[in-house]
Amino acid sequence: MKKLINDPQDVVAEALLGIEAARPEVRVDHANRIVYRRDTPKTGKVGLVSGGGSGHEPLHGGFVGLGMLDAACAGQIFTSPTPDQMLEATKGVDSGAGVLHIVKNYTGDVMNFDMAAELAAAETGITVEAVVVNDDVAVEDSLYTAGRRGVGVTVLLEKLVGAAAEEGRSLPDLVTLARTINDSGRSMGMALTSCTVPAAAKPTFELGEDEMELGIGIHGEPGRRRVALVGAREIAEQLMEPVLDDLDFTSSPVIVMLNGMGGTPLVELYLMYGEVAKITDQAGITVARNLVGNYITSLEMAGCSVTLLRADQELINLWDAPVNTAGLRWGI
Amino acid sequence: MVTSAVITIEQLTGWLRRFQELVIKNQTELTELDSAIGDADHGINMARGMTAVINKLDGQHATHANDLFKTVAMTLVTSVGGASGPLYGTFFLRFAGSTGPAVELDTAALVTGLDAGLAGVIERGKAQPGDKSMVDALSPALEAMEAVMKNGGDLVAAATAGRDAAVAGRDATVPMVARKGRASYLGERSAGHMDPGAASVALLFEALSAELAG
């Protein structure tokens, strides 16, 4: 294992020291591993709290700031944060307008946020709502799985709901908006390589030179299918087909995100975006906005995911609203 | 053969110490099981959590079962993370609720407490037997302990039966297709691998049996 780390046990704590040193728009509670927006709580504004395992940077700590999250709880690498962290963050961002938890649909994240909401109800008078993101078409959504995973749509949702919260919208309005966004987006990912959890010191799975993993999540877990490695054009088709089969994206403009898994250079991500754009053109899909880069990653995994989100004019306006975070910044 | 009618607070603490030792001894194996069908952290997380529990217990002397297990539960919830934190945390929290401020537990009280823990795990995780989860070791272990108790067996015999059933339940997860947790994303590919949560539950019962056997 070759990584830019000191002790594997200290990776998350030391990364938070770096985030605090680098980013003037945040402050960090190191004891509870929470990244806060510097000016939270803002009077009258609903507090947005997310969190999850580390290793997906810039998600979530890199999305704290103006126009996005008020707080992000950092777990260990690929491990959900704990209810005490989420409770502390909830108290820290509440201005009296309530708090929205943005939760990716993973067993651990959902259970820990559930416990946090129970604790918040028991210990404080804070109104807490939760939205669970589950946009990954690689997982069959049935009674026999833990359900679809929360992946790329999480990034878009944090941006859009963050902008709406900034406008002063109420908690019930934000819940409705967040659920609409979740229902309007789909993602699919693939990996060329595995990744190495620092504490495990070796790759989570092995992939041959001529293989790729299709339908991966964001935790270095193996995907739905291991298939023969093909060219970018065919990979784009294999990612887009299940997304387009699952939801109609021709009836309104869309926001497209071509996301890197952490270990793929931008030259390849732009090449892939070109292939995806050809497919959307052929399918008669209007791309209103796009995002190309590393936004929800899986350590140093090579590969990418593609996310499509239906976006009416209201969502496009929210998308264009100012944002100032480590991961996204425009309009300021 | 040691016979005993009750498990004392010292033995309950000893059970937890043995569990921590077993988790650390099997940490790499648990993580390797999790690499195959999950996210490669179960051994790491359980070792960190149980070490935090033992450090906490070293600093305070609980004299009642509910205080002891509430401390265990909250420490696990705050230090393990993932799914195992809330699941083991809920298990011990419900156990604490069941025992109340007892200073020792007879077989019936122990089994009732463990049963309350199992119910909590099912409620929190929504897994049923056969879903390839920790329930597949917990549930048969409890059934075996209840059977021994009904036949008039003592605590040591119940714990031994519980251990054997947990191990058998753990092994029975190998061919199962996962329906809960991250392994469920693999679908049929999850078959052929032992469930890491069931493996750590087997260690919990191995620790209990060893503590009672003395």
Chunk chain A into consecutive blocks of 10 residues (it has 332) and report each block's average pLDDT, rounded to whole numbers: 95 97 96 97 97 97 98 94 95 97 93 88 91 91 74 98 98 98 98 92 90 90 86 98 97 98 98 98 98 98 98 98 98 93
- Within chain A, which residue ranges are assigned CATH 3.30.1180.20? 185-310
- Within chain A, which residue ranges are assigned CATH 3.40.50.10440? 13-184
Residue B2 has pLDDT above 70, yes or no: no
Q: Which whole-number Å values give the CA distances from B114 to A154, A286, B53, B155, in the listed order?
A: 38, 57, 19, 13
Tell me the chain B residues in contact with residue A107 when contact means C-beta distances shorter than 8 Å.
Answer: 83, 125, 180-182
Q: Phi-psi region for residue A311, left (φ > 0), alpha (ψ -120 to 50) or beta?
A: beta
CA of B2 to nearest chain A CA: how many angstroms apart? Answer: 40
Q: Summarize pLDDT for B27-60 with one digit per residue, the tens.
A: 999 999 998 888 778 999 999 999 999 999 999 8
> What's the average model confidence in pLDDT over B177-203?
90
Q: Which whole-number Å values give the CA distances from A291 to A176, A194, A329, B138, in the listed order?
A: 24, 24, 12, 47
Q: If DSSP codes are grouped into helix, strand and coil, which group holds residue A154?
A: helix
Q: In A, what residues contact B, Cβ < 8 A?
A: 53, 75-84, 106-108, 111-112, 114-115, 138-140, 143-146, 149, 197, 199-200, 204-205, 217, 219-222, 224
Within a 10 A sphere around the Cβ of B51, how many other Cβ atoms? Answer: 15
- Domain at A185-310: CATH architecture: 2-Layer Sandwich (3.30)
Comparison of pLDDT for B205 and B181, the residue scoring more: B205
CB contact under 8 A, A221 and B182: yes
Q: For residue A98, what are its two tokens?
A: 């309530």
Q: Summarize pLDDT for B120-145 with one digit per residue, the tens.
A: 999 999 899 999 999 999 999 999 99
Residue B106 has pLDDT above 60, yes or no: yes
Q: Summarize pLDDT for B57-91 with one digit per residue, the tens.
A: 999 889 999 999 999 999 999 998 788 999 999 99
A182: part of which helix (H) or strand (E)? helix A171-183
Question: How much is the mean pLDDT over chain B?
Answer: 93
Q: Which of A53, A111, A145 sits opposite B184 (nearest CB)?
A: A145
Q: Using the structure block, give the residue that is written with the tokens 């620092």.
A: A198
Q: Does residue B19 belong to any structural domain of this protein?
A: yes
- Domain at A13-184: CATH architecture: 3-Layer(aba) Sandwich (3.40)
Please classify residue B60 by burial: count the beta carbons closer than 10 Å to its beta carbon, then call 0-12 exposed, 13-18 middle and 19+ buried. Answer: exposed
Strands A128-133, A99-104: parallel, antiparallel or unpaired by DSSP?
parallel
Instruction: Please count the structural domains in chain B.
Output: 1
Within a 10 A sphere around the Cβ of A15, how many other Cβ atoms? Answer: 18
Q: What is the dihedral of CA A28, A33, A34, A35, to 10 degrees?
A: 50
- Terminus-to-terminus CA distance in chain B, angstroms? 10
Exposed e or buried b for every residue in A92-106, given b needs 16+ CB within 10 A? bbbeebbbbbbbbbb
Q: Does residue B141 belong to any structural domain of this protein?
A: yes
Please spell the DSSP secondary structure of A91-137, one letter per residue. HHH-SSS-EEEEEES-HHHHHHHHHHHHHHHHH----EEEEEE--BT
Q: State the pTM of this model.
A: 0.84
Q: What is the pLDDT of residue B1?
A: 44
Q: What is the pLDDT of residue A79?
A: 87
- A56 included as an active-site residue: yes
Q: Does residue B1 belong to any structural domain of this protein?
A: no
Q: Please, which residues have CB within 8 angstroms of residue A63's CB and are 6 or more apart in sequence?
A: A50, A69, A72, A155, A158, A159, A162, A325, A326, A327, A328
Tell me the chain A residues in contact with residue B189 when contact means C-beta distances shorter than 8 Å.
Answer: 222
Q: Please give the residue range of the domain that contains residue B60.
A: 6-213
CA of A218 to nearest chain B CA: how many angstroms apart? Answer: 10
Task: Of B73, B87, B44, B23, give the one whose Cα is nearest residue A76.
Answer: B44
pLDDT band at B208 (very low <50, low <70, confident <90, very high): very high
CA-to-CA distance for B51 and B104, rounded, in angstroms? 24
Q: What is the pLDDT of residue A118?
A: 79
* C-alpha A149, offset from chain centre: 11
Can you give the CATH number for the domain in which B52 is found? 1.25.40.340
